[in-house]
Amino acid sequence: HDRAFINDVATRIIELNSHGIKEYGGNYDFYKNQKKSESFAEMKLYSDYIDEKNKIRNALKKQKSLASGSRKIKTTDNEKMCRDKRAESSQHTFAKRAKAIESRLSQLQKIEKPHSDKSYRVYINGGVHDDKLVLGLTDLDVGYGKCIVAKSINFEIRGPSRTQIMGPNGSGKTTLFRTIMGQMDPIEGDIKVGDGVNAGYFSQDVDSLDHTKNAIYNLSSNGEDRADLRKWLHMLGIQGDDVNKSTGDLSRGQRSKLGIARLLSGNYQLIILDEPTNHLDIATRESIEFSLSKYQGAILFASHDDYFAKKLNPTQLVKLGIN
Q: Whole-model pTM? A: 0.77
Q: How far apart are the C-alpha atoms of 275 and 171, rounded to whole Å?
A: 14
| Amino acid 86: pLDDT | 56
Residues 204-244: tens digit of each pLDDT: 777 678 888 888 888 886 666 777 788 888 888 888 888 88
Strand partners, 80: none
Higher per-residue pLDDT: 290 or 94: 290
Higher per-residue pLDDT: 66 or 287: 287
The DSSP H or E segment spanning 20 is strand 20-25
CB 170 within 8 A of CB 322: no
Query: Which segments within the chain are labelled E, that is strand?
Result: 12-17, 20-25, 133-144, 147-158, 162-166, 188-193, 199-202, 270-274, 298-302, 316-319
Residues 281-323: tens digit of each pLDDT: 898 899 999 999 999 999 999 999 999 999 999 999 999 975 5
Higher per-residue pLDDT: 208 or 100: 100
Percentage above 70 pLDDT, the chain: 88
Residues 247-284: tens digit of each pLDDT: 888 888 888 888 888 888 889 999 999 999 988 889 88
| Amino acid 322: pLDDT | 55
Confidence of residue 130 (pLDDT cuts 50, 70, 90): confident
